[in-house]
Chain A
């Protein structure tokens, strides 16, 4: 469970990014965080992960308050897939990247390799195991980045723009993978069709506050609300032009 209690945050004094934001995400829920550029979606993610700390209010992950003292516990529970997979995959090969997290958390190499094999099998990317990160395509790298997070067996997965810059085939693959994960999922994206496909609930952030919070099927159909927040209806819900 993730809980935001009256959270405010500003990178610069006088320019708040989030103001008095409160919401709760239940276990196994799949939530899409949407909003215009600069609305504060990524900031919400960073606050959950303890990469930033609120100026006011509190953030809880599974009942643990996110603070410097609890970072290790919080981060063990949360897996984060970055928008830029190049920044996520920093080891020479996919295999070494997959082992990095589990080994850091004290898993033996044998156990870690078994876990990595199982995840690669689950995502059907076993062929990538021995490949070099600089030799694989963007789509493969995104899949490998998700795998590197799954090997840590997180109970919460956060994904920042998981389908950005992917071709339709790879986008579909990622959507299927996201749908197949049975953990708490928080996704940020401007790809509202993907959000509609993968999330039951949507939190719309705008002007530093929660503008709407409810079922994805309702919020993503609300054209006025979306347009007021510089968004558009998902393509699948728009009337064909021709």
Chain B
């Protein structure tokens, strides 16, 4: 299996994950979307040194992983391309931010390490939340929810079609990569000299496929908007959204972990 086929398989796996049955899968797409959006805003709003605050926000993905049957391992696996980038983005913090955080013996640890840790926790939390959303909700349902909150139809259709066409593009890459390697067995990857023609062919082939696919849509009455399933708002989903949004705001404005820590260590709150 080449890399493109592997990517394609992972891509399809997300659809299959979203089709599973669990209490989280049963919540309406709108409630999950709202909770995720609020969560993302709250997580990124924490101060760059507020490690305990951000760590408390990990409660949401932790509980949802447990309830949905998805695992953190799956999420980390999907994050494997993003994490190195993040670490790269934050790796200079310890050198640029030289304010002393604490001292061990004669070694002072700068606050840059703290901000790096906060950055990584924020990234893991936000990516986990998005993974939980798309791993428990079908893309059509997410797009339906976006339409319900009056996101322009054009934008929603664009998201949906991009999602569909990504698989078309990846399928073409998989076929072309196989065809290339069968005739260049000793090469690792695709030689630079072939990149131009490879990309050109890829664009032409995927355009052909996309054109066929679009024709098939037109012939089945597509007029610019995907028929979205009307989702009934249920009380469970509403409670889910209200409870989580309240918890997020509580964790944002009340230093819960610090209070617990103080109580445990016998200090005054």
A interface, CB within 8 angstroms of B: 49, 51, 72, 75-76, 78-80, 82, 84, 86-88, 90, 92-93, 96, 99-101, 103-105, 109, 132, 134, 148-149, 152
CB distance from B248 to the nearest CB of A (A): 31
Would you mind naming 26 contact pairs between A and B with Cβ atoms under 8 Å apart?
Answer: A51-B215, A72-B223, A75-B218, A76-B221, A79-B219, A80-B216, A82-B212, A84-B212, A86-B171, A87-B212, A88-B216, A92-B15, A92-B19, A99-B227, A100-B217, A103-B227, A104-B220, A104-B222, A104-B223, A104-B227, A109-B230, A132-B12, A132-B15, A134-B12, A149-B220, A152-B220
B140 at the interface (CB under 8 A from A): yes
Beyond the given A51-B218, A82-B212, A92-B19, could you list 20 further A-B residue pairs with CB under 8 A, ordered by the A residue number?
Answer: A49-B215, A49-B219, A72-B223, A75-B220, A78-B219, A80-B219, A87-B209, A87-B212, A90-B213, A96-B140, A99-B227, A100-B220, A101-B221, A104-B221, A104-B222, A109-B229, A132-B12, A132-B16, A148-B220, A149-B220
Binding site for A on B (CB under 8 A): 12, 15-16, 19, 138, 140, 164, 167, 171, 209, 212-213, 215-223, 227, 229-230
Min Cβ gap B134→A in Å is: 13
Tell me, rounded to whole Å, the shortest Cβ–Cβ distance linking B124 to chain A. Answer: 28
Chain B residues with Cβ below 8 Å from A86 are: 171
Does the CB pair B227–A92 fall under 8 Å?
no
Instruction: Please report the C-alpha to C-alpha distance between residue A96 and residue B209 in the assembled complex, in whole angstroms.
Output: 20
Q: Which residues of B contact A90 (CB under 8 A)?
A: 164, 213, 216-217
User: What residues of chain A lie closer than 8 Å to B220, measured between beta carbons?
Assistant: 75, 100-101, 104, 148-149, 152
- Enumerate chain A residues within 8 angstroms of B16, measured Cβ to Cβ: 132
Interface SS, A side? helix
Q: How far is the CA of A51 from the CA of B16 in the complex (A)?
A: 34
**CB–CB B221/A75 < 8 A:** yes
How far apart are the CA atoms of A96 and B229 in the complex, in Å?
11
Tell me which residues across on chain A come within 8 A of B19, comparing CB atoms.
92-93
- In the bound assembly, the distance between CA atoms of A46 and B179 in angstroms comes to 31
Within the complex, what minimum Cβ distance (angstroms) separates A109 from chain B?
Answer: 7
Given contacts A100-B227, A103-B227, A75 and B138 within 8 Å (CB-CB) = no
How near does chain A come to B157, taking the closest CB pair, in angstroms?
13
Question: What residue in chain B is nearest A92 (Cβ atoms)?
Answer: B15
Known: A96-B140, A100-B227, A109-B229. A75 touches B219 (CB 8 A): yes
C-alpha spacing A90/B167, complex, angstroms: 10
B187 to chain A, nearest CB (A): 28
Instruction: Tell me how far the C-beta of B42 lies from the nearest C-beta in chain A, rounded to whole angstroms.
Output: 32
Closest to B220 in A: A101
Closest to B225 in A: A104
Alpha-carbon distance A86/B209, docked complex (angstroms): 9
